[in-house]
Chain A
Amino acid sequence: MKAFEIHTYQSGKWKIDSVFDDRDLAMFEAQRMDSSGRYTSIRVVEEVYFEATKETKTRTIYRGSKVADANAAQLRKARETNLKTAQAPRKGRSDPVQRRKAAKRRKVKKQAGAARLIMIMIMITTFAGGAMYGLLLLQQGGF
């Protein structure tokens, strides 16, 4: 037994709009809905129920133009990203000078971090010492 479900994409999820037992009718309606521009996305899912095994198999037989466009754009973007990431590491690996420079930069960064920490500790110690000395003076002054 076959059923053809029209799905609409609403509020971030797919929702069953209507169910037909006739493929042509479902396709006709889905195309009409798609061209109306009223829906974000439309698709038709064919559902086949196998009586003998009591199994249901589904497959999408129609995707509205917006779904196809969105999928194509996403695929294009993914390909571009893959291409960029594939090219970027090769550059660094093939150039030993660049690699050494990068390692040096990382080392300098580490050293700068340690120096900053020591400076902060000295400042805190000086401030604390000064504050204690000030308190001592105040105490001796009889305030």
Chain B
Amino acid sequence: MERRMVLRLLSYWRDWCGDALYPSFTQVDPSRMAEIWDHSFVLDVVGHEENPIVRMVGSEFQSYLPRSVRDCALSDAPAGSLIEHAASYYQEILDRGVPISRGGEFIKYDGMKVLYRSIILPMSDDGTSVSGLLGAANCREVPAG
């Protein structure tokens, strides 16, 4: 699996943080990290802590989804999709307030086996409390069985 992408995004996140506990989405410039942004997703957690809303999905990430999930609750994400697995541990980021990276494999909705590596980063509007999550994942398909 391509691991460097999650580390690159983590490195960006640390730079955005500066002296603050968490960075703001306003600091994110998608044009400066296009290759990562295409693999990213954004979860809105304000008022939706128990079931975040998907606000953005990058084009590469979208290619592993059978339909658009923009503005959908995470619980409504299609079963066997990348976002279902890449965002499954979002609650741990809310609880611990630190970036977490996980990897694994799952059988996609079309029967293909997918290996993935993901990361979720806490973001904030005020620098102290988490108001959103920035995630990213990359993956590759291998024949199932």
Contact = CB atoms under 8 A, between A and B. Distances in A.
B138 interface: no
Given A29-B7, A29-B10, A22 B103 contact: yes
Interface stretch (A11-19, A58-66, A75-83, A114-122): A11-19
Interface in B26-58: none
A25 B98 contact: no
Contact of A19 (B3, B101, B103): B101
Interface in A19-76: 19-22, 25, 28-29, 32
B46 to A, nearest CB: 23
B contact residues, range: 10 to 19
Q: How large is the interface on A (under 10, 10 to 19, 20 to 34, 35 or more residues)?
A: 10 to 19
A21 B1 CA distance: 14
Interface of A: 16-22, 25, 28-29, 32
Interface of B: 3, 6-7, 10, 14, 92, 96, 98-103, 117
23 contacts: A16-B98, A17-B99, A18-B98, A18-B99, A18-B100, A18-B101, A19-B92, A19-B96, A19-B98, A19-B99, A19-B100, A19-B101, A20-B100, A21-B102, A21-B103, A22-B101, A22-B103, A25-B3, A25-B6, A28-B3, A28-B7, A29-B10, A32-B7
